[in-house]
Amino acid sequence: MSKSQYQCPQCLSSGTLEVIVKVSAKVNQDDIDNIETDIDEAKDSSHEWDQNSAMSCTNCGCFNVSSYFENDRTPIESFRTALTYYGIAAPQSNEELMSLEYSYLKKLSRAVERNK
């Protein structure tokens, strides 16, 4: 698993994240009843967001501020979180879990496959 800066803490997906951003849009008003905004015509096309912006995972529906998705968990914490999310009971001690890592990785990858 490659490390990415943002990752869903529930399902460990990093390619299914969406964040609410602030963008500028040009205000087009042809007549009083037809006022539209166009982000492609905006002078400033930057997208603004920060640690408090709302982020969601379209894979599992996890929703929180973006800092919650920062991948600052240790590999063992991430592994445990994912096992819990997919309903796989894991041993209490980290040592035991790591010694059985391969068999739990196989269980996890099967669970991820079933969820696709």
Site string for Zn ion, 35-74 (x = CB under 5 A): ----------------------x-xx-x------------
Q: How far is the CB of 109 from Zn ion (least distance, A)?
A: 16
How far apart are the C-alpha atoms of 108 and 10, rounded to whole Å?
12
Quote the DSSP letter at residue 43: S
Looking only at residues 70 through 99 of this chain, which bind Zn ion when binding is defined by CB under 5 A?
Answer: none
* Residue 17 found at the interface with Zn ion (CB under 5 A): no
Could you say whether residue 11 binds Zn ion (CB under 5 A)? yes
> Between 13 and 64, whose beta carbon lies closer to Zn ion?
13
Question: Do 20 and 53 contact (CB within 8 A), yes or no?
Answer: yes
Q: How far is the CB of 50 from Zn ion (least distance, A)?
A: 21
Name the minimum Å distance from CB 34 to Zn ion: 39
Stretch that binds Zn ion, among 13-21, 45-53, 73-81, 101-109 (CB under 5 A): 13-21
- The beta strands (E) that lie in 17-116 are given as 17-19, 26-31, 34-38, 54-57, 63-65
- Going by C-alpha positions, the residue among 4, 11, 22, 7 that lies closest to residue 66 is 7
Tell me how far apart the alpha carbons of residues 7 and 95 are, in angstroms, rounded to a whole number: 25
